[in-house]
Amino acid sequence: MSAGCGEGREIHVQEVALRDGLQSEAGFVATADKIALAERLAASGLRKIEISSFVSARAVPQLADAEAVFQGITRRPGAIYAALVPNVRGMERAIAARADEVNLVMSASESHNRTNLRRSGDASFQAIKEAAALAAAAGMRVAASLSCSFGCPFEGEIPAATILKWCRRLQEEAGIHSISLCDTTGMAYPALVRDLVGLVRQSNPAINLALHFHNTRGLGLANVFAGLEAGVIHFDAALAGIGGCPYAPGATGNICTEDLIHALEISGYRCGIDLDGLIGAAGELEKLLGHPTPGQVMKAGPRLRRYPADKPGPGA
Ligand code: ZN
């Protein structure tokens, strides 16, 4: 392999442990601990951190303190503090809490949408449109997530035409240009990632595409590299690889942030992140949760370091 396979390209990672990760934890993490973790993540160089979700506290009690977390953090200049927003009511709360960016969510799978959000895909889309208009009026950044883009536990494969349709409608009708294709239940595989990303980018070159992978079947980082080859530069990941899949109890969670950063930087991509700082934060998080987490790099001991980009590596 040549030393410059990543060609020094800059990659942007959104950290989602505080939202996607904590929502599947059995226990409640104290607000002060969430705030301290968010600040530690920002200090390690992460530029976008999804720190909570404005869902109903009844649906997701682990994130019932979204307002308090937003109020409690000391915002680091240059960092974007994002929140997941499921509906118009959540949007109003996100505006009041001064979230920098909102992530509006619907599923690419009709049956997953009905099970998870308890309404049709069309109804979810209308709610997204309404919420996006509120966000735009408030001057907030808006992104949308399409759950189950790479497969659904009820429907199996989702036709590419369905993904293309929602991407086009989100962009043209809701004015949302940042779209995340989410592998909610970890069904994606590299060839599918390459093909689907290729189709979306070809039909919609103006979309700012992000990928959200879960490592449920061990293909998380392989899928990232397929996405990189297809031209994607935005990825979600969760510290220590926490998270889960409601349809696969006990399965591993999101792809792990520190494992992802290690894989990217050693391959020549630039992430601008203090990996040692991040590994320290992952250890803290594991202690906080009181159970082992899937993160690998933090337990693996000494690691190789990337040759400087201007010098050829061994075998170059
Ligand atoms: Zn997820």
Q: Does 305 reside within a domain?
A: no
Per-residue pLDDT for 3 more than 50?
no
pLDDT for 1:
42
Q: Does 104 reside within a domain?
A: yes
- The one catalytic residue among 148, 167, 245, 271: 245
pLDDT for 7:
66
What's the domain count of the chain? 1
Q: Does 271 reside within a domain?
A: yes
Q: Does 76 reside within a domain?
A: yes
Predicted TM-score (pTM) of this structure = 0.94
Strand-strand pairing, 141-147 and 208-213: unpaired
3-state secondary structure 46-97: CCEEEEEECCCCCCCHHHCCHHHHHHHCCCCCCCEEEEEECCHHHHHHHHHC
| Ligand 1: centre distance to CA 243 (Å) | 7
pLDDT band at 312 (very low <50, low <70, confident <90, very high): low
Find the CATH number of the domain harbouring 96: 3.20.20.70
DSSP state of 24: G
Q: Does 4 reside within a domain?
A: no
Q: 51 lies in which domain range?
A: 12-299
**Is 245 part of the annotated catalytic residue set?**
yes
Cα separation of 119 and 207, whole Å? 26
| Ligand 1: centre distance to CA 127 (Å) | 20
pLDDT for 316:
45
pLDDT for 308:
59
| Ligand 1: centre distance to CA 247 (Å) | 12
| Ligand 1: centre distance to CA 275 (Å) | 22
Q: Does 6 reside within a domain?
A: no
Between vectors from CA 72 to CA 178 and to CA 95, what angle results, nearest 5°?
40
| Ligand 1: centre distance to CA 244 (Å) | 8
Q: Does 194 reside within a domain?
A: yes
DSSP state of 19: I
Mind listing the pLDDT tens digit for each residue in 34-44?
Answer: 999 999 999 99
Q: Does 289 reside within a domain?
A: yes
